[in-house]
Homo-oligomer: A and B are copies of this chain.
Amino acid sequence: MPERIGIIGLGLMGKPMAHNLLRAGFPLTVYNRSPPAIDALAAAGARPATSPREVAAHSDIVITMLPDAPDVLGVILGEHGVIAGGNAGLLLIDMSTIAPSATHAAAAQLAAHGMRMLDAPVSGGDVGAINATLSIMVGGTAEDLARAQPVLAALGTTITHCGPNGAGQVVKACNQLAVALHYAAAAEALVLGARAGVAPEVILRVLGGGLAQSRAMDLRGPTMAVHQFTPGGKAKFHHKDLGIVLDLARSHGAVLPFTALAGQLYTALLQHGGGDLDHSALLLEIERLSGIVAPEA
C-alpha cells in the first residue's frame, strides 16, 4: 500500500505535481495559503486541509513547494506547522529552492522530533512539472531517498542523489548560476552581432552548431531574438536564486565574479519591470546598456 502523501504549496509548480501524484495513485492531502487552489485539487480527489499541521497529521511523506526559505521554515516550524502535526518517522521532502543553510536548520529541527528530511529542488520549470519530466536534485540519506523514490518517480525523470542534506540545494545553486551566465553569453553575442550588422539567426545557427552551443541558447535564443519573453522561468525567481548562490559562495569562500555581475544585472531587470518576464530577458539589460531600444520593457 502506497504511503500517504501531503503537499503544501499549490502554485505554478505544486499544482501540476499534485495532479501527477493523484494520477499515480497516491492518497493525497493538500494545503495552500490561498484556498481556491485547494478546492481545485479536492475536486480532483485530494483531501483538503486547513493547515500544514493537518497535512502532516494525515501524511507519511510531506512535500513542500514554496517560494523561499521563510515560507518553508514557517510551514515546518510554525504553530500550525508540520512538526506540530506529524508523527515520528514522517519524511519531509522540500522541493523548493532555498539556501542550503535553511535546509540544515529545518533538517535539524525535524530530526529533533524524530522526523526525516530530503532537500529536492528541481529544474525543468512548469512544463517539467506538468509533464512529470522534472530533474530532481536530492540531498539527504540514501535510505530516505530510497523511501522517496516512488513519489519522486511520479514527478520527474531524472533523480540524482547529490550528497547529504543541503547538497541538492548546492547543485541547484550551481545550475542556476550556469543558466544565468549562459543567458549572459547569448545576450552579449546577440548584441555584438546586432551592433556589428549580423542577423541573429546567423549567430544562433553558427554558435549552436559548435563549441559555443548551450541548451539555453538553443531553446531561448530564437525567442530572445524577437523579444518574446513569456516565461518559462521567471526573472524574479532567478534573481532570488542568484541571491542564494552569492550568499552560499560568500559563506564558503567561493569567488564568483561573473555570477556577482549577473546578480546585479538581474536586479536591474527587476528595476525595469522585468521580474515576470522569462529569465532570458537578461538580454534586455545588455541591450539597454548598448543603447538598443527594447520596445516592450
What is the CB-to-nearest-CB distance from A222 to chain B, in angstroms, rounded to a whole number?
Answer: 15
User: Cβ of A289: which chain B residues have Cβ within 8 Å of it?
Assistant: 255, 257, 264-265, 268, 271, 285, 289
A102 within 8 A of B: no
A33 within 8 A of B: no
**Cβ contact of A184, chosen from B171, B181, B192, B197, cutoff 8 A:** B181
Number of copies: 4
Contact: A195 with B253, CB < 8 Å? yes
| A interface: dominant SS | helix
User: Cβ of A100: which chain B residues have Cβ within 8 Å of it?
Assistant: 196
Chain A interface category by residue count = 35 or more
A191 within 8 A of B: yes
User: Cβ of A163: which chain B residues have Cβ within 8 Å of it?
Assistant: 197-199, 202
**Cβ contact of A162, chosen from B158, B185, B198, cutoff 8 A:** B198
A23 within 8 A of B: no
Contact: B196 with A248, CB < 8 Å? yes
Binding site for B on A (CB under 8 A): 100, 123-125, 135, 137, 158, 160, 162-163, 166-167, 170-171, 173-179, 181-182, 184-186, 188-199, 202-203, 205-207, 209-217, 219, 233, 243, 245-246, 248-250, 252-265, 267-268, 270-272, 285-286, 288-291
